Structure 1
Amino acid sequence: MFQIHNLTYRYPNEQEETLREVNFHIQEGEIFGLLGPSGVGKSTTQKVLTKLIKGYGGTVKYKGKDLSSYGKDYFQDIGVGFEMPVHFSKLTAEENVSFFKKLYKNPADTDELLKRVGLYDDRNKKVSSFSKGMKARLNFVRAMINQPTMLFLDEPTNGLDPVNARIIKNMIKEFRDQGGTVLLTTHLMNDVDELCDRVAFMANGAIAEIDTPKNLKLKGSERTVTVEYLKGDSAQTNTFNLDRIGSDETFLSIIKDYTVLTIHSKETTLEDIFIEMTGVKIDE
């Protein structure tokens, strides 16, 4: 869907480049996570790909054609959900939706979208009365309003309770399963783990690592498993080598003769990988 080669960009009046030879591609029909701490160039990269920024260096191709060769029809093909929702606060949700529908040739069934995100009964209320979570859900509806094939989402579940976050995540996966492509930026590693087919970590304006969430976690994992079990009235814990666990007599005895409380492999988390890849320092 996208091919990005040696992408560079420096904001006017800035001495240093925000993007430094960024290279990655986004496959059609995948959810691609672009991760990193604030200020490393994630938003700038999204602005380039959504044609909000021009004058960049390198090459960006969309569906095999140079991005600069696309005109206004490009915006019929993409949906964008910014992190900070921008709505007409003095208009109702229905009036907001109706306004933006007129900008597109092939708008979606917005009543159905509003029902899916739980805003249909509130569609005639002014957006100024909406909570942060309601505005975020309306923002997602707006991103989907033109039935895009390419979706750019920045913190789509930020500010949502678990129930509404689950609805949005299910809709994102449905969009992917129906052939859509997603570029997702978020600081919520659970969302990344659940949604993303591949992730790229950005650091200092460049890509530090790209892989699937599973592979990234396996690379940094210890090959051990920890078992917590009841021995008499007390809980005991033992750790075993995962490669030899099938022939480890102590392990086999524990799972046969005692009540097992928990078993956990020593798998690293995406949060740990985020910190390592991006060089973020944590104050102890």
Structure 2
Amino acid sequence: MAGQQHYPQGALYMVATPIGNLADIGLRALHVLDLVDCIACEDTRHTAALLQSYGLHKPLLALHEHNEAEAAQTVVQRLREGQRVAYVSDAGTPGVSDPGARLCAAVHAAGLRALPLPGASSITALLSVAGTGGHDGGFVFTGFLSPKTTERQREVQAIAADPRACVLLEAPHRIEALARDLAALGERPLTIGRELTKQFEEVAQVAARDFPAWLQAGAHRTRGEFVLLVHPATAAIDDNMDEATLRTLDLLLAELPVKTAVKLCAEISGAPRNALYQAALARRKGAQED
């Protein structure tokens, strides 16, 4: 089946690889990794071991965050020569909080093709079991917050002000500091994914304020890679919002998408946009349930 698709020469193939369990590799990914002339990768040692697991052997080219701009030009030259080149990060889908985005930008700038081979992703894996796909207002992917305390706390404040779901990533050596900052979100639900797809995989849901205590409940809980979902804020109407403002919001919602209705209502009434957004979500949800 994988061989039935056309795989043009002179193209870059962005190949998703497992985030833990080697059985999560896609059949088409294996086909392309065997087909290409060389594989650019985040870590040649890691990728060599990965390929060996599948019985594959290919020339490897290191392309990581420290040499991405320079190595991208090497890839572009290979593509111009008609080679097929794959790119893989250490785990998951490349170019998403991993190197690869600048590589793709260079390929596009050269007028060449970059083709995706979808597969494992910690982001969608956690969303699938969190019980909320961010359908109420969608979700934002933020990735890694700043390692600097003041900047990270400012970013958490921005998350608190946004009623949408938010996906975060974090490394084990910074998870406790992040947990302390996320505790400021109080009762807002948090789904924790630790070591997804690996032997000691753990998924849990707690109130954000309880996240530090959850980590401290077992020494093993600070180990491994984390993906976190801050759930959408509970829709609640601001107590200070008058009936006239809510009536205006209802009229706008009847004719316009939520974001447009909220923007116009904020301009008309002067009410806070975040409170209006939460009120709009609550009213839309209530209308659907009636």
Fold match by TM threshold 0.5: no
Q: Which structure carries more strand by proportion? A: 1
Q: Which has the higher helix share?
A: 2
Q: When the two structures are superposed, what TM-score results if normalisation uses the length of structure 2? A: 0.30
More RCO (CA 8 Å, sep 6+): 1
Q: TM-score, normalised by structure 1?
A: 0.31
